[in-house]
A and B are shown apart, each in its own frame.
Chain A
């Protein structure tokens, strides 16, 4: 099932939903989808294109919008589904019912980008330490941090 078959198949199946379809490299397919029909696309990919294996979910801060990229990997190629969400109301639906293994990566998005995942079975913070100030999301471009001041032992600081 070479890259071109996948692309034709996706265009036929998704029709209007596929806003953008690109194949920049061998065995790499990028697909842009609106956040609303994310779940439908993911179920289609899992059933028809043997993408049951979700590698990871990456978040990208593009100034005023947050982009979420779902990396699926099948035997034939690596299919990446991309959605964009305004930073003002960062809400994305969870895909845990379709892919149980995705709970990890959605948890990270919540911690690192402040993206609210609706319907996540277990929304407790994970990556950030217990005493982490609420509302500060490290991987956002506009987030600044102050380095803990350096204490030279022996009082020679």
Chain B
């Protein structure tokens, strides 16, 4: 007997408003239908009315967890348009903060995955250790989130010797903790039972549905912008791209923890090789007419900004493509034939950053307009029962 469960816009598993409508048969999901739009803030229209400098602060607030990646991606593209080359030290500090943000984002994700699976102790421990990296970021940039350390032509804050030593010491502590979480994530029986074999995505599906980031790497596709399209800093670092080929949530846990360990290596190399010199260069107010495509490896996948300027001090067009958006079609494939209990876990597995993805929405073809027992997922109206079309008990089609 089929009926539709709305995982409404406001749901404890999803920290952000997204609405999923699952066509379910008993406990097995037959089909999924995602409707976003709740988070659409009309950012691209707004960007066309702000100057280049103001846009840095706008692109930074696209998403809380990967704020630095959007800002860096934007600043990279604009520097190409303005033909401004930031000094080496500025670049090194910029990508140091980028790697620190990747560490804090992956630790956050590990905790949320544990919380979705009901493993709250794992959530508490990972988030307690995340505070270490938050303190480092606050020391470097002054704020726990939204670091605003980027500016056109370089970076706004410098690093002194004391800070460098503290970062190295913090990374050493975090490396020990991450290995401990790696063992737990891959061995704790009740946790592994929940994540092994769940949300399976084959390499072919991942390839055809253009999945990005850890979701694709967990299905065996080694695609990492830091390797394919490296900017100044990454081709001087040696690190390898962590992949797994099981294609399920366990594979994503493994890939993310591998990336954590890689990031620690990169941070240490950046700190050791930090060159001397200025950290920023003056940038002109107007950008030369032209267009630029800038790509950046955000913690969740590949971030892409397409910037087109007509020579004035405001961008003519700013197109932002966040990684979560690319993973939505893949999510629909993963949800098929899963269990209801797995919805939040599969959904958390792609580490959705819904506020990033909110310029575009995906709705893969569910049988069109099968408005069966439940109208468009308005979770609370049904729960309240006060709304005009509350469902009288009699005709709730229920097999028992």
Contacts and interface: CB of A to CB of B under 8 A. Distances in A.
Interface of A: 24-25, 27-28, 30, 52-56, 58-61, 69, 71, 73, 75, 78, 80, 99-105, 107-108, 112, 121-122, 124, 126-130, 138-139
Interface in B73-93: 80
Contacts of A129: 37, 40
A58 B317 contact: yes
Given A53-B207, A78-B293, A139-B45, 11 more contacts: A24-B292, A53-B212, A54-B210, A55-B302, A56-B321, A71-B321, A78-B229, A101-B208, A107-B361, A127-B40, A128-B40
B261 interface: no
Nearest to B292: A25
A61 B35 CA distance: 26
B359 interface: yes
A101 B326 contact: yes
Contacts of B295: 55, 73, 78
Interface stretch (B159-167, B189-197, B363-371, B389-397): B363-371
A122 B367 CA distance: 10
Given A56-B306, A108-B359, A122 B365 contact: yes
B251 interface: no
B187 to A, nearest CB: 34
Nearest to A75: B228
Contact of A122 (B37, B326, B363): B363
Contacts of B291: 24, 30
Most buried by A among B40, B290, B368: B40
A90 B325 CA distance: 25
Contact of B362 (A61, A71, A126, A138): A126
B101 to A, nearest CB: 21
A135 to B, nearest CB: 17
B40 A71 contact: no
A102 B210 CA distance: 8
Contacts of B316: 60
Contacts of A24: 290-292
B362 A100 contact: no
Contacts of B80: 25
A107 B319 contact: no
A104 B360 contact: yes
Contacts of B290: 24
Contacts of A78: 229, 293, 295
Interface of B: 35-37, 40, 42, 44-45, 80, 207-212, 223, 228-229, 290-293, 295, 302, 304, 306, 308, 316-317, 319, 321, 325-326, 328-329, 358-365, 368, 376
A23 to B, nearest CB: 12
A126 B36 contact: yes
Contacts of A71: 293, 304, 306, 321
Nearest to B223: A53
Nearest to B366: A122
Nearest to A76: B228
Contacts of B228: 73, 75
Given A78-B229, A121-B365, A100 B209 contact: yes
Contacts of A122: 363-365, 368
Nearest to B322: A56
B230 to A, nearest CB: 10
A12 B301 CA distance: 34
A93 B42 CA distance: 26
Given A56-B304, A71-B304, A138-B45, A127 B209 contact: no
B229 A58 contact: no
26 contacts: A25-B80, A28-B293, A52-B210, A53-B210, A53-B212, A56-B306, A56-B319, A73-B295, A75-B223, A78-B293, A78-B295, A100-B209, A101-B208, A101-B211, A101-B326, A101-B329, A102-B210, A104-B326, A104-B328, A105-B360, A107-B361, A108-B361, A126-B36, A126-B363, A127-B359, A127-B361
B85 to A, nearest CB: 13
A100 B329 contact: yes
Nearest to A141: B48
A103 B329 contact: yes
Those 10 A-B pairs whose CB atoms lie nearest each other, nearest first? A101-B210, A126-B361, A56-B321, A108-B360, A58-B319, A58-B306, A101-B209, A104-B362, A122-B365, A55-B304
A124 B365 CA distance: 10
A99 B361 contact: no
B334 to A, nearest CB: 14
A62 to B, nearest CB: 9
